[in-house]
Amino acid sequence: MGISQYIKEIGRGKDGARALSREQAADLLGQVLDGTVTDLEIGAFCLAMRIKGETPDEMAGFLDAVHQRLNRLPASDTPTVVLPSYNGARKLPLLTPLLALLLAREGLPVLIHGTATESSRIFISEVLAALDIHAHAAVTSIAPGEVVFIPTELLCPALKRLLDVRCVVGLRNPAHSLVKIMNPCLGKSLVISSYTHPEYAVSMAQTFELTKAHALLLRGTEGEVVADARRMPQMEAFIGGQRVLLQEGVKGTLPSVPSLPKEIDAASTAAYIQSVLAGKSPLPTSIAQQVEHILHLVRQL
């Protein structure tokens, strides 16, 4: 069948490209994930979408294709909190595991999924290993109060391969946004999602609305889903796709900023997280507020 007809539409440049319908986008990405197209076609697709940019309808269609191919976690009695982790630490410590462990302490099942997408950052698997939380070898259910890390390649091997295209062409593609908004769980769950640039906040919010998602959206720490310990970001909720502003963003640095570790290596980050959990170091205000918002949303599911 091929995807050349779609590439003709999306590959006409920033001004000449035409948007695909949700159904067309689902068919296009479905063929890419199923491996029925050539590497050349995949490269053309990635470059065309990078230049054109994704519409909310296209992202919803891509998400439909991903959800049809995910190895999804079984439903549980308690809603699961989903934390994607793909950006890692560049200048600040990676505190996504702290958010996960705080939520688990409240009795919630927590799924972290992710994979390394660059070679120069500290990634979630490294920090979790330093906390003695290791990747699962299979997709399994999660007990209340448990944190489970499942690598992307277990959830959808084809999606992992599409992420890895960046290593060849040097540019992100739709997969890098999809992993932040996809829901690998059956049953009740809440996806925590983040963006790095304001334009992504708009498109991601519209995609959550179109797909009737249960989600929390914020500008996280260097692209990670945990609130920046130094700031109070805006936080928006989506329950069945209905958008609600939970938290007004505060410009600038918070009046009281905790002392973060100067090094961002896995061991230093894990030691800081353990210190916060033990009450020896203060919990950053923004992360405490994020936990409260998540608990509030989970009670609505």
Angstrom distance (rounded) from CA 283 to CA 295: 17
Q: Work out the average pLDDT over 227-236.
A: 92
Q: Are 25 and 57 in contact (CB under 8 A)?
A: yes
Token pair recorded at residue 93: 């410590």
> In this predicted model, what pLDDT tens digit does every residue of 17-32 receive, in sequence order?
899 999 999 999 999 9
| Those residues with Cβ within 8 angstroms of residue 1's Cβ, 6 or more apart along the chain or in another chain | 31, 36
Strand partners, 114: 85, 151
- DSSP per-residue letters across 99-143: HHHHHHHTT--EEEEE----SSSB-HHHHHHHTT----SS-----
**Phi, psi for residue 235 in degrees, rounded to 5:** -130, 125
Fold match between 4-69 and 80-298? no
For tokens 């708009």, what's the residue? 202
**CATH number of the domain at 4-69, out of 3.90.550.10, 3.40.47.10, 1.20.970.10, 1.10.760.10?**
1.20.970.10
Number of neighbouring beta carbons within 10 Å of residue 126: 18
Q: How far apart, in Å, are the Cα atoms of 237 and each of 52, 123, 152, 165, 212?
A: 28, 26, 25, 32, 12
The correct CATH number of 80-298 out of 3.40.1080.10, 1.10.1740.10, 1.10.760.10, 3.40.1030.10 is 3.40.1030.10
Residue-level pLDDT at 117: 82
Count of CA atoms in the C-beta half-sphere (13 A) of 102: 23
Domain boundaries, the chain: 4-69, 80-298
pLDDT above 80 for 256: no
Token pair of 216, please? Answer: 């929390």
The pLDDT value given to residue 74? 93
Q: What per-residue confidence (pLDDT) applies to 1?
A: 66
- pLDDT tens, 166-219? 888 888 899 999 999 999 999 999 999 999 888 888 999 999 999 999 999 999
Tell me the pTM: 0.95
Model pLDDT, residue 253: 76
pLDDT digits (tens, 9 = 90+) for 94-146: 999 999 999 999 999 999 999 988 778 999 999 999 999 999 999 999 999 99
